[in-house]
């Protein structure tokens, strides 16, 4: 059950980040203009990403009631980083370098080591 909750929470975070990025690309105002808040609030992608982050927060708290923070946080963060990187390349057509690919592989190894040592 805890693994399922971790997977769901991680997927919510990943989809939320992808939505935020997609919405941010569509912003037309300069970064620090007075209209940026209104434009952000009216952007369905950004607001959807924010809503998914809200749902993931509640799952995060539930998971923390069952699993140590020093296990859950590194595993969830690592899984999110890996999935966001892969999906941003596949969906958003962003580029990734060979060094970044090696970094993602190192993160994967670290994530496995942290989760296996959860005893």
Q: pLDDT (tens digit, 9 = 90+) per residue, 9-25?
A: 999 999 999 999 999 98
Residue 91, Cβ neighbours under 10 Å: how many?
11
CA gap 24, 46 in Å, rounded: 7
Given a contact cutoff of 8 angstroms between Cβ atoms, the answer to whether 75 and 115 are in contact is yes
- The per-residue pLDDT for 118 is 53
Q: What is the DSSP string of 11-34?
A: HHHHHHHHHHHHHHHT--S-TT-T
- CA dist 64 and 58 (Å) reads 10
Percent of the chain whose pLDDT exceeds 70: 95
Q: Structural domain tally of the chain? A: 1
What is the residue-averaged pLDDT of the chain? 89
Asked if residue 31 has pLDDT above 80, the reply is no
pLDDT at position 84 over 90? yes
- Across residues 4-12, what is the average pLDDT? 95
Distance CA 96, CA 33 (A): 31
Q: What is the pTM of this model?
A: 0.83
Rounded distance between C-alpha atoms, residue 60 and residue 107, angstroms? 21
pLDDT digits (tens, 9 = 90+) for 86-114: 999 999 899 999 999 999 999 999 888 88
Q: Which domain holds residue 27?
A: 2-116
Distance, in Å, from the CA atom of 6 to the CA atom of 56, rounded to the nearest integer, reads: 10
């Amino acid at each position: 059950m805890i693994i399922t909750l971790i997977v769901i929470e991680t997927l919510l975070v990943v989809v939320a980040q992808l939505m935020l990025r997609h919405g941010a690309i569509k912003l037309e105002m300069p970064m620090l203009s007075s209209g940026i808040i209104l434009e952000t609030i009216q952007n369905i992608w950004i607001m959807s990403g924010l809503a998914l982050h809200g749902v993931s927060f509640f799952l995060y708290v539930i998971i923390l009631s069952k699993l140590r923070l020093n296990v859950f946080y590194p595993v969830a963060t690592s899984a999110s980083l890996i999935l966001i990187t892969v999906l941003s390349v596949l969906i958003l057509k962003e580029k990734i370098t060979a060094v970044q690919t090696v970094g993602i592989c190192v993160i994967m190894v670290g994530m496995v080591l942290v989760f296996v040592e959860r005893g």
